[in-house]
Amino acid sequence: MVAAGNGEGVVSVARRVVQVERAFLTQAVGFMLGRGIRQFLDLGCGKPGVGSPHDMGRLTGPAVRVIHVDYDAEVIERARRVIAGTEHRYLVCRNVTDVSGLIETCQAAGMLDARRPTGVVAVGLLHLIPDANELLSRYSAELPRDSVFAASHLTRCFKDDDSGAAAKLIGGPVYPRQRQEIAEMFDGLALVKPGIVALPHEWGTPAKSIAGAPVLAGIAVKQ
């Protein structure tokens, strides 16, 4: 197994992973808003924290709908306290691999209009799912043209003796994938240039000056 940080401590690498992912989230949401996206599906929202997806209300403005999804009931409960009283913010406790079930539930509850372009955000999620290879394609099949997909993904394992600590910090056992596999997750979608990139990266918005981490990411549009 390859160490994530050339001997660097797991806590420090995991912190950088979160930092670059947070910056990516801000860029991806900005890109989506710029394309007129006004409803977002935040897959694997995680526990609320500084700059976490629960802050998306600040990025998107109040008129935009955001549905945060996580299968961990405790995560959802914590998030509920953070977004309580905020309009157009929804929480759904569900496994994101149940794509049709999730979309149907959100539609039936009036949270999502699946005929309208949607921003699908999967930051720090796909490397936690063993069979995630076709997940973005399955969401794309349920959503209309001009929907936008943003995902980040770990590319390297932590050392065996660090993997427990890494799992705790990153949110579960990690399934790192190589660039080609990550690129294939966007099959059928038009990747925004320059395609799959190492984070941090600039997509129009200047990237914060933070050190790199073993994370690749892409933003893609359904055409």
Ligand X SMILES: C[S@@+](CC[C@H](N)C(=O)[O-])C[C@H]1O[C@@H](n2cnc3c(N)ncnc32)[C@H](O)[C@@H]1O
Residues in contact with ligand X by CB under 6 A are 21, 25, 44-46, 52-53, 69-72, 75, 95-97, 123-125, 128-129, 170-172
Comparing CB distances to ligand X, the nearer of 52 and 60 is 52
Nearer to ligand X, 28 or 189 (CB): 28
Rounded to a whole number of angstroms, the minimum distance from the CB of residue 136 to ligand X is 13
Minimum distance, C-beta of residue 71 to ligand X, in the bound complex (Å) = 4
Q: Which residues contact 71 (CB under 8 A, 6 or more apart)?
A: 93, 94, 95, 96
Minimum CB–partner distance for residue 69 and ligand X (Å):
6
Rounded CA-CA distance 32/219 in Å is 9
Nearer to ligand X, 39 or 193 (CB): 39
Beta carbon of residue 151, minimum distance to ligand X (angstroms, whole number): 10
User: Checking DSSP bridges between strand 148-154 and strand 119-122, what pairing results, if any?
Assistant: parallel
The DSSP symbol for 124 reads S
CB 149 within 8 A of CB 143: no
Q: Please state the closest distance from residue 223 (CB atom) to ligand X, in A.
A: 26
Q: What does the alpha-carbon distance between residue 202 and residue 12 come to, in Å, rounded to a whole number?
A: 23
Which residue is nearest to ligand X, using beta carbons?
Answer: 46
Q: Quick one: which of 114, 147, 153 has its CA closest to 220?
A: 147
